[in-house]
Amino acid sequence: MEEKYDVIIVGTGVAGCFAALHLPDDKSILMITKGELEESDSFLAQGGICVQKEEEDYESFMEDTLRAGHYENRRESVDVMIRSSRDVIRELMEYGVEFAQKDGSLLYTREGAHSTNRILYHDDITGKEITSHLLNQVRKRKNITVLTRTTMMDILARENRCEGILMKTSTGDLRPVIARDVLWATGGIGGIYDNSTNYPHLTGDALGIALRRGVALEHVNYVQIHPTTLYSQKKGRRFLISESVRGEGAVLYNKKGERFVNELLPRDLLTKEILKQMKKDGTQYVWLSMMTITRHDVWKRFPNICQKCREEGYEVTKEWIPVVPSQHYFMGGVDVDLSSRTSMKHLYAAGETSCNGVHGANRLASNSLLESLVFAKRAACAILSGTGESPQGQGCRDWRELERTYGIRQKDYENEEHYFGGLKKAILEEIEKKNREVEENESNHNQAKCG
């Protein structure tokens, strides 16, 4: 490992990998991840990836995304995502990604809040299919160094300019690493919640550091709950039952075996209905039946889901399974523009870490992979547009010099549990603060209407 790189990418999911692959071979790149390479939420994405099938699909794709996001989306960001979708799919297929086909034609499925079938998929492990192929391409690049079990502790920043990161290696050493540009692709915030579909090590570190370093955030209270995760009394990551299952015909029942909701409502609305029914029934879950799926052999269409349910003691072709809402996705994040630039110079963010406004207040199903890929590529293009500059930071390793230059002190990072506990607390407090502001604004609005 070197002391200086052209680009540091924190995260090895689809956003991090796609950005790295769009940087030229003459750029030295360091990629780090807190866990193993396969432990990103990108690997967990089941349903699929949206695409604009033809020009006539543009308006409905736009409207479906805006409506799901309660029209709080940035329309220009949605436009960029939709118009870039076919090029992204073409690139993925050139990398070897395989999507379901029949007689040589791509198959499209539909999920909640979509007005038509526009989602490409690979069984029920689309995220794994895409991410594994991107990682294989990354491994082939001699200019890319990948470090696992390596944690970003902070950024090296001065005068609103990012000049690198402070990281803890797999051996526990604190190392400053200089770079001309840094891309945050650190995933979501599920690890700060008790019930989440995310990997527990994804704790929103970039957000916590952003709060410490004055990097602008956006909509941090926009946290999505997935309506259907497999109920379990065990602790740990919740297993997601994909939206595609309901899109293909699965239905929800209350404790009396009665359907109580339109299963294809947007996620936030469906979650509210499920929680309302659980309270009414006095239960900790509702039932989901996959036996109503008639278009497909469920074991062929959803092999991963069926196998996981079997491991938990449920045969989906013979019985209902218990499902419950759990934290799933983060629509807010580090505020970025259309080129994934943050408010700090030479610092970029892409994927779930960022908020470019595509998702608004609620994400449309299967837009996450597409949005991550589109804006990761745009981050890489923006980084290249500034080529010619050398990394500004000095490769200093003396802590007195680091403190003098970047205002960081070694003792602040010695107790890792305490340090990240502080970041977690700061994130949760910021989310709560924004929720209070929303409630106060709604209260004031209602009072004004009554007056």
- β-sheet bridge partners, residue 88: none
Other beta carbons less than 10 A from residue 323's beta carbon: 24
Query: Rounded distance, CA 126 to CA 367, Å?
Result: 13
Other beta carbons less than 10 A from residue 220's beta carbon: 26
Catalytic residue check, 110? no
CB half-sphere exposure, 299, CA atoms < 13 A: 6
Catalytic residue among 118, 237, 267, 301: 267
Helix axes 58-68, 75-94, angle to 10 degrees: 120
Q: Tokens standing for 327?
A: 């934290």
Please name the residue that has the structure tokens 């970039």: 206
Euclidean distance between the first and the last CA atom of the chain, given in angstroms as a whole number: 65
The answer to whether residues 89 and 388 touch, using CB atoms and an 8 Å cutoff, is: no
DSSP-derived 3-state class of residue 204: coil
Q: Tokens standing for 163?
A: 């000049």
Q: Provide the H-helix boundaries in 364-398.
A: 368-385
> Which residues carry out catalysis?
267
